[in-house]
Amino acid sequence: MRVLLSVPALTLVVACTDVAPLTSTGFNTPEYQAQREAQLAGQGAVGNPLLAPVDVSQQPLGAPGSTGVATGENADIANQAAAALAGTSGQSSAGVSTAPASNNGAISDEQDFAAVSERRSIESDAARIEQNRQTYDVVAPTAVPERSAGGQPNIVQYALSTSNPVGTQLYSRAGFNLQAKAQRNCAQFPSPDQAQIEFLSNGGPQRDRKGLDPDGDGYACGWDPSPFRSAVNN
């Protein structure tokens, strides 16, 4: 029984030792490594050369189909671009002085004491002040024109003649849905001032013919006399 089991085991050992040698081709062969190093060094392989970095042209690119030299309008554009990059103000291929302007007229140097002191003095400033005084045109104040008697009611005068706050009833109002009626009628005026003028022109504050003062305080559509009173007190 032991002899029969040893025969298959011996056959398996012989089969394992009969392995083909490693092939000489692949990524780890000396030939591939040499070719790869040559490509990285810029030498390249046969039929697929790689340019070395030093062989790349340093000349600026021209227009498509040109020889790399800018001419005509392209030369102007190229010169302007080169001048801008160099911090100059070149404008054409003929060349313009690239010296920066010594002074920009749009920028005032009035805050520079040295610059101002070179062209001004106390005497010159005094003469300039006197010259400006001669050109002054003083307008004398005049009286404010009086409002004609037949004009609209003066709401400023009315505000100063009253003292009750807004919402304090002084006059009786009768009718139904006075608030809704006043809200509808007040919407017809562009401002409370206009509503107050209309209210005073039609019998207000004692009478409210158009329903503009439902609470009877003498002020139509929420008009407030407080700003006029404050202006006089201040």
- Kindly list the distances between the CA atom of residue 156 and the CA atoms of 118, 197, 224, 227, in Å, as whole numbers in the listed order: 58, 10, 11, 10
pLDDT tops 90 at residue 183: yes
Under DSSP, the state recorded for 29 is S
Band (pLDDT 50/70/90 cuts) for residue 31 is confident
For the record, the structure tokens of 21 come out as 């040698």
Lowest mean pLDDT among 12-16, 163-167, 202-206: 12-16
**pLDDT of amino acid 112:** 86
- Residues forming a β-bridge with 48: 45
How far is residue 90's CA from residue 97's CA, in Å, rounded to a whole number?
Answer: 7
pTM over 0.95: no
* 100 against 72, higher pLDDT: 72
pLDDT digits over 112-148, tens only?
888 888 888 888 889 989 998 888 888 888 887 776 6
Range scoring the smallest mean pLDDT among 59-73, 91-105, 131-145, 217-231: 91-105
Neighbours of 111 (CB within 10 A): 7
Of residues 210, 219, 223, the one with CA closest to residue 171: 219
The 3-state secondary structure of 113-162, one letter per residue: HHHHHHHCCHHHHHHHHHHHHHCCCCCCCCCCCCCCCCCCCCHHHHHHHC
